[in-house]
């Protein structure tokens, strides 16, 4: 059972302390993220790209999300775990949405769910909140909408688009969302939304004024390098280090260095 809860989200915002959030998809990485003291772990459908090697997140299924969420919750002692509703797990109707969101809490052990969308998911948010399933909403660049958006593009650049996002932010707050992800929007727009809402905003590519920040773990540690968005900061080069280790292992076998007496039984 995690110690960070949705009440701590609001408390941190009120106290002006930043909320820290990172994705994780399996036991070893979730253990690291939790041990590092990150407040919230998102089991994001980004796993489709950084774990499964897919082109986008659309093919990710509910069963796959539950499989990964279970591994994460097994590892976590303090962080709050949020399950990410994959494409077509909620767009097909409120009943599907409730059933699938419930699976994250019942089977996965998560404490809340995240859903992409604004005005169009208001009824979903209301139904989930009524059923005690806390909802984090997600507006701006929503990767499940790439075909409508025409790719991974910054959103809210025109006055009309910015006003629409401000309106949607209020709509999801009023519907009962406990927090809101703002993805790939201009930083001044994110600042305005963060100031206007009483629920915390979590930014990804939305500048420094959000109430918290989230990134994809595999980007942060330098494990995923197929492409690196502008908003990512790499804090290590895990892929390079792993590659070096595996090559050294291969070389030592070929040269008869490994295993030595030290790794052998007498
Ligand atoms: O799927 C995901 O990991 C996400 C975050 C990056 C916000 O939606």
pLDDT tens track for 185-244: 999 999 999 999 999 999 999 999 999 999 999 999 999 999 899 999 999 999 999 999
Q: At what angle do helices 187-196 and 159-175 cross, to 10 degrees?
A: 30
Where is pLDDT greater, at 178 or 2? 178
Residue located nearest, by CA, to atom 2 of ligand 1: 44
**Distances in Å between the alpha carbon of 199 and those of 16, 144, 173, 192, 194?**
12, 24, 7, 13, 8
Environment class of residue 96 by beta-carbon count within 10 Å: exposed (0-12), middle (13-18) or buried (19+)? Answer: middle
Probe target for ligand 1 pocket from 181, 223, 227, 228, with the most ligand atoms within 8 Å of CB: 181
Q: Which residues are catalytic?
A: 183
What is the residue with the minimal CA distance to atom 4 of ligand 1?
44
Q: What percent of the chain is modeled with pLDDT above 70? A: 100
Structural domains in the chain? 6-235 (3.20.20.60), 238-266 (no CATH)
pLDDT tens track for 23-47: 999 999 999 999 999 999 999 999 9
Spacing, Cα 21 to ligand 1 middle (Å): 10
CA atoms within 13 A on the CB side of 34: 24
Mean per-residue pLDDT over the chain, rounded: 97
* Single pTM value for the model: 0.97
Residue 98 has pLDDT above 80, yes or no: yes
Q: What is the pLDDT of residues 125-146, one digit of tens each?
A: 999 999 999 999 999 999 999 9
Mutate to test the pocket of ligand 1, among 204, 210, 213, 223 (most ligand atoms within 8 A of CB): 204
pLDDT surpasses 70 at 1: no
């Amino acid at each position: 059972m995690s110690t960070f809860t949705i009440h701590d989200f609001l408390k941190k915002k009120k106290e002006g302390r930043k909320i820290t959030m990172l994705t994780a998809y399996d036991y070893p990485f979730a253990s690291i993220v939790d041990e590092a003291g990150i407040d919230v772990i998102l089991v994001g459908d980004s796993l489709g790209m950084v774990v499964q090697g897919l082109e986008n997140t659309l093919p990710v299924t509910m069963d796959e999300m539950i499989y990964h969420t279970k591994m994460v919750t097994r590892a976590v002692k303090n962080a709050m775990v949020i399950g990410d509703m994959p494409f077509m797990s909620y767009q097909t109707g409120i009943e599907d949405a409730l059933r699938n969101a419930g699976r994250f809490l019942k089977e996965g052990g998560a404490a809340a769910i995240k859903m992409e969308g604004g005005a169009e998911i208001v009824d979903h948010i209301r139904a989930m909140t009524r059923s005690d399933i806390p909802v984090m909403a997600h507006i701006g660049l929503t990767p499940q909408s790439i075909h409508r958006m025409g790719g991974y593009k910054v959103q809210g650049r025109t006055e009309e688009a910015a006003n629409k996002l401000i309106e949607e932010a209020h709509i999801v707050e009023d519907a009962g969302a406990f927090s809101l992800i703002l993805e790939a929007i201009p930083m001044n727009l994110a600042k305005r939304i963060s100031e206007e809402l009483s629920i915390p905003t979590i930014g990804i590519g939305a500048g420094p004024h959000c109430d918290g920040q989230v990134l994809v773990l595999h980007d942060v540690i330098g494990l995923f390098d197929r492409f690196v968005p502008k908003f990512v900061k790499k804090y290590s080069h895990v892929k390079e280090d792993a590659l070096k280790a595996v090559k050294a292992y291969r070389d030592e076998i070929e040269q008869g260095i490994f295993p030595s007496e030290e790794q052998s039984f007498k």
